[in-house]
Amino acid sequence: MTVFDFQIQASDPLCAARAGVFTTPHGELRTPVFMPVGTKATVKAMTPEQLRHLGAQILLANTYHLFLRPGDELIREAGGLHAFMNWDRPLLTDSGGFQVFSLADTLKLSDDGVGFASIVDGQRFHWTPEDNVAVQNHIGADIIMQLDQCTPYPCETATLHQAVVRSAEWARRCRVAHQRPDQALFAIVQGGTDLTERLQSVQRLLEIDSQTAGFPGFGIGGYSVGEPHQLMFETLPAVAQALPVDRPRYLMGVGNPTTLLRAVACGVDMFDCVLPTRTARTGTVFSHQGRMNLRNARYKNDFQPLDDSCDCPTCQGFSRAYLHHLVMAREMLASVALTQHNLRFLLRLMEDCRQAICTGRFGQLLAQWENSAAVDDF
């Protein structure tokens, strides 16, 4: 297969779920896929070796954070992000647009780009779409994301519309500026919870796609920014279906198991979220019985594994009692062990989806989850 080719291997007959293979210079992504987040060129508490053993196919890193520290030039000097962080499988960088909007309280936004202050030392920077592509070119991930304007929730239609128009314009400029043939540039759909704006966003991006070298994949941004959970599913199915069937669809920043399963049913292929790693560090884990907080005294004498159907090293080696002890003693191994479990839980959930789609049992898998105790875990 050629690089950045997306081959669909199976589609569910009753919903939009599909299993595919996306080819990158660092290997194939088998979709649906969950991408662990390594914001600052490290997935918190994990070694690259542990991530490989957990079955992580691709990691995500953050352009905003890496630009500020250690700097994109230094990463280029190191031979690119793969060499810098010792990860030889695919990598994706988001543009940092989301962080600029959510972290920088000194934001200056215009049609030409975005000005922001460093959270490290206050220094001011300005990114045009072209600047942002250059930074991501230096970092060197297999998949890079266009600079976009992310809207909050709730948001007035005029602002939503402006973000849709501006993001599409920036998609065009990123597409023109991006020249590295070994990096795929994904465009990003915006439009909040407004279906008209969402579909117009898709339309604008498809127009650019047809007029240029095109986008090998599409991000769906601007969800999971505080809106009620069910609201996303009022527009997501139509948004996903409006995107080209032969390109991967990446729902950005969503990571709870129930939402992942439902989004796979809508035809989404890729996911990322800090949820599994961040909640692990607070002592909380996913399980087929729903979320568990290991600080709870009920686990003090509980010698069972976290989830007896889980094949992660934590469930193979440690009891809830031991994990409770590690959490209470604030030992680093608590974060390591719970992060391993949460990541494996989502990675395997996606492997299970893929397997089910390929064997015509996805509807059954989804129904099982919807009827389980874990369904309310958001």
Q: What is the nearest approach in angstroms of a second copy to the Cβ of residue 29?
A: 23
How does 85-97 read in b/e, with b if 16+ C-beta sit within 10 Å?
A: bebebbbbbbbbb
With respect to a second copy, which residue has the nearer C-beta, 271 or 322? 322
User: Which one among 85, 164, 265, 280 touches a second copy, defined by CB under 8 A?
Assistant: 85
Selected range binding a second copy among 126-134, 151-159, 240-248, 325-333, rule: CB under 8 A: 325-333
Instruction: Determine if 332 is a binding residue for a second copy (CB under 8 A).
Output: yes
Contact flags string 9-48 toward a second copy, x per CB under 8 A: -------------------------------xxx-xxxxx
User: Which residue is catalytic, options 12, 72, 94, 142?
Assistant: 94
Q: For 194-331, where are the alpha helices, taking DSSP H only?
A: 195-211, 229-242, 257-265, 275-280, 313-317, 320-328
CA nearest to 311, candidates 349, 273, 365: 349
Task: Report yes or no: 144 and 184 within 8 Å, Cβ to Cβ.
Answer: yes
Q: Hey, what amino acid is at 356?
A: A
Instruction: Determine if 152 is a binding residue for a second copy (CB under 8 A).
Output: no
Q: What is the nearest approach in angstroms of a second copy to the Cβ of residue 145?
A: 22
Report the phi/psi class of residue 114: left, alpha or beta, with left for phi > 0 and alpha for psi in -120 to 50. beta
User: Which residue is catalytic, options 72, 194, 272, 307?
Assistant: 272
Task: Count other C-beta atoms under 10 Å from residue 84's C-beta.
Answer: 19
Q: What is the nearest approach in angstroms of a second copy to the Cβ of residue 333?
A: 4
Question: Tokens 């030409």, residue?
Answer: 112
Q: Is the peptide bond before 257 cis (omega within 30 degrees of 0)?
A: no
With respect to a second copy, which residue has the nearer C-beta, 335 or 342? 335
DSSP 3-state assignment of 94?
strand
With respect to a second copy, which residue has the nearer C-beta, 146 or 314? 314
Instruction: Determine if 127 is a binding residue for a second copy (CB under 8 A).
Output: no
CA 294, 296, 300, 306 dihedral sign is negative
Instruction: Determine if 331 is a binding residue for a second copy (CB under 8 A).
Output: yes
Give the number of residues in contact with a second copy, rule: CB under 8 A: 38
Q: Is the peptide bond before 36 cis (omega within 30 degrees of 0)?
A: no
**What dihedral angle (degrees, nearest 10) is formed by the CA atoms of 338, 284, 96, 167?**
130
With respect to a second copy, which residue has the nearer C-beta, 49 or 105? 49
- Pull the structure tokens for residue 46: 């994990």
Contact flags string 42-81 toward a second copy, x per CB under 8 A: x-xxxxxxx------------------xx---x--xx---
Q: What is the nearest approach in angstroms of a second copy to the Cβ of residue 141?
A: 16
Q: What is the nearest approach in angstroms of a second copy to the Cβ of residue 91?
A: 14
Site for a second copy in 198-227 (CB under 8 A): none
The distance in angstroms from the start CA to the end CA of the chain is 38
Q: What is the nearest approach in angstroms of a second copy to the Cβ of residue 58?
A: 18
With respect to a second copy, which residue has the nearer C-beta, 213 or 332? 332
Selected range binding a second copy among 218-226, 249-257, 258-266, 320-328, rule: CB under 8 A: 320-328
Q: What is the nearest approach in angstroms of a second copy to the Cβ of residue 234?
A: 38
Chain centroid to Cα 241, Å, comes to 19
Instruction: Determine if 336 is a binding residue for a second copy (CB under 8 A).
Output: yes
Indicate if 272 belongs to the active site. Answer: yes
Counting beta carbons within 10 angstroms of the beta carbon of residue 327, is it exposed (0 to 12), middle (13 to 18) or buried (19 or more)?
buried
Q: What is the nearest approach in angstroms of a second copy to the Cβ of residue 41?
A: 7
The residues, any chain, with a CB within 8 Å of residue 18's CB and separated by 6 or more, are: 8, 9, 10, 11, 12, 31, 267, 269, 357
Contact flags string 293-312 toward a second copy, x per CB under 8 A: -------xx-x---------
Question: Cα-flanking dihedrals φ and ψ of residue 51, to 5°?
Answer: -65, -40
Q: Which residues contact a second copy by CB under 8 A? A: 40-42, 44-50, 69-70, 74, 77-78, 84-86, 300-301, 303, 313, 317-319, 321-322, 324-326, 328-329, 331-333, 335-337
Q: Which residue numbers are catalytic?
A: 94, 272
